[in-house]
Amino acid sequence: MWIFKIKYMNRLLGCFIITIFSNCVTAQKTIVSDKLSYKLPKSAESISATSRLKPDKPDKYSIIQTNNKSGTAFQIDDISFLVHSSEGTLLKNFLPDLRKSLNYDKQMSSSTYKIQEITKLNNFSYLLYTYKFSTSNKEYLMLFAVDDSYTKVLSAVAEYDEHDSTKAEKIVNDFIKSIKFK
């Protein structure tokens, strides 16, 4: 069993590396495993691990197009969406500690952060935040969700151009409403 301890968070993206368990996709774009299910828009297209290694613009940083093949990636119109899920034992203050770390990063960084409050929904709590690197026109909407037993975690990131922020927020909010930890 894995124990996640969050003491130091020097890099925002360091907290996104989470081991995943296998998922299967059905025609309705419902992702199901024995521990978790969620839904994506019908227009969502899977991005294979191989195609993720071939970025459109190799000089630009992308969370989705990376050498890290973990997670399940989707393209929803012009929005890239990456989902990770894992099991383990989380500290009960995982989300509050993550929020504190993000607030610290926000103060120390030239990037723009919008950090929301931790929210409870169904049988899980989640933290949602947006950030934009000062050197990019891309925005990132990040999600961390933890089940009430603190044994399952889901993280997701939507990557999009600034002008698609309303569309990305709707996709992520609908995604959050569909999450079911089992």
Taking every pair of C-alpha atoms in the chain, what is the biggest distance, in angstroms? 44
pLDDT class for 51, splitting at 50, 70, 90?
low
Average pLDDT, the chain: 76
User: Could you tell me the domains of the chain?
Assistant: 18-49+63-181 (3.40.1000.10)
Distance of CA 113 to the CA centre of its chain: 15
Q: Report, as an integer, the average pLDDT of 154-167.
A: 92
pLDDT class for 151, splitting at 50, 70, 90?
very high
pLDDT digits (tens, 9 = 90+) for 99-131: 999 888 888 877 788 889 999 999 999 999 998
Residue closest to 169 by CA, chosen among 180, 156, 154, 153: 156
Burial of 43 (0-12, 13-18, 19+ CB in 10 A): exposed
How does DSSP assign 90-125, residue by residue?
A: E-TTHHHHHHHHHHHHHHH-SSEEEEPPPEEETTEE
What pTM value is reported for the model? 0.76
pLDDT class for 18, splitting at 50, 70, 90?
very low
What pLDDT score does 129 carry? 93
More confident residue, 138 or 179: 179
pLDDT digits (tens, 9 = 90+) for 64-91: 655 556 778 888 988 989 898 889 899 9
Per-residue pLDDT for 61 more than 80?
Answer: no
Share of the chain above pLDDT 70, in %: 71
CB-CB contact of 2 with 85 (8 Å): no
Q: Which of 17-21, 57-61, 85-89, 132-136 is predicted with the least confidence, judged by mean pLDDT? A: 17-21
pLDDT class for 145, splitting at 50, 70, 90?
very high
More confident residue, 35 or 144: 144
Per-residue pLDDT for 26 more than 70?
Answer: no
